């Protein structure tokens, strides 16, 4: 990879770029090697300047790292994590507008305070709104595609593009968006205002359901596998049915509370986690003919 001449950048941008950056603190799994470069732009202008002046063969954009497994060998490219300006949440013309780096639960909190309905499910999904759009995150019968009106992205040439909801090919846990796009802003559909107390009650109910159904206070990447389409058994049911919930490789194991969540409290290596994933996929495929697809992203 061509080296970035950081000294040739203006001072402001220099402070936003790091070389040989350890990625383990940017993943909820708590593991990962180093990236060649780590860039955290504070503004759109900074991001556009960077993209227009430096070309890379490999780059990824990350949010809070709630569903990413970084390999221990690291990433030979540029990791981009949007900074301060991209985490704003505002109301305009009775619509919520959120920067891609804003956390889902913060958007849910903002909507609650304004009395906007339909955002409650975001209160129990970790991670940023931008990442949620890319993977069409959802739970308890709702998903991102239900509430989006339009998004704004910046391409690798530094150009800003707006994309309407109807032009995004949303499906279960995916959006079909070009991975060369960096989402910067999301405009949500206008929704009716209701009594905030009703919203609070719904959020409380969802949080209780999550506590019952999902593990907490562990190092994990959320749901490991997507639920198979056109099949009446969920991923966790298949994992348990074929005994994969008892598998382990080194310190990598599934959560005792919910076996579609990997528990990495004992800090397994990325290789051990991948072995657990692949062995589970192989066993389920051999026994049922169903290929479990990953919901987490391996970098």
Enzyme catalytic residues: 173, 223, 295
Altogether, the residues listed in the chain come to a count of 299
d(CA 168, CA 144): 12
Strands 34-39 and 252-254, bridge-based pairing: unpaired
- The DSSP-derived string for 193-209 is B--HHHHHHHHHHHHHH
Q: How many CB atoms lie within 10 A of CB 257?
A: 14
- Spell out where the chain has E strands: 17-22, 34-39, 59-62, 68-69, 75-81, 89-92, 95-99, 138-139, 142-143, 148-154, 160-164, 182-188, 248-249, 252-254, 262-263, 297-298
| Two tokens, residue 33 | 């090697």
């Amino acid at each position: 990879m061509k080296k970035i001449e950081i000294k040739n950048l203006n001072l402001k941008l220099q402070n936003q770029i790091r070389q040989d950056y350890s990625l383990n603190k940017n993943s909820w799994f708590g593991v990962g090697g180093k990236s060649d470069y780590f860039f955290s732009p504070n503004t759109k202008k900074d991001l556009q300047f960077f993209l227009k002046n430096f070309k890379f063969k490999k780059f990824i954009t990350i949010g809070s790292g709630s569903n990413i497994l970084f390999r221990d060998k690291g990433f030979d490219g540029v990791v981009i994590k949007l900074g301060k300006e991209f985490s704003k949440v505002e109301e305009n013309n009775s619509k919520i507008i959120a920067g891609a780096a804003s956390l889902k639960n913060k958007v849910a909190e903002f909507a609650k305070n304004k009395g906007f309905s339909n955002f409650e499910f975001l209160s129990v999904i970790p991670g940023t709104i931008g990442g949620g759009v890319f993977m069409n995150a959802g739970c308890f019968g709702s998903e991102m595609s239900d509430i989006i009106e339009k998004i704004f992205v910046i391409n690798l040439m530094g150009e800003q593009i707006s994309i309407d909801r109807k032009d995004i090919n949303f499906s279960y846990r995916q959006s079909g968006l070009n991975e060369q796009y960096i989402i910067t802003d999301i405009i949500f559909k206008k929704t009716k205002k209701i009594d905030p107390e009703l919203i609070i009650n719904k959020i409380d109910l969802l949080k209780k359901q999550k506590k019952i159904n999902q593990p907490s206070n562990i190092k994990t990447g959320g749901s490991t596998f997507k639920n198979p389409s056109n099949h009446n058994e969920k991923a966790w049911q298949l994992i348990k049915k074929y005994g994969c919930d008892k598998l382990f490789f080194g310190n990598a194991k599934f959560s005792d509370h919910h076996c579609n969540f990997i528990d990495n409290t004992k800090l397994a290596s990325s290789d051990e986690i991948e072995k657990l994933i692949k062995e589970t996929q192989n066993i389920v495929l051999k026994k049922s003919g169903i290929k479990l697809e990953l919901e987490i992203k391996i970098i």
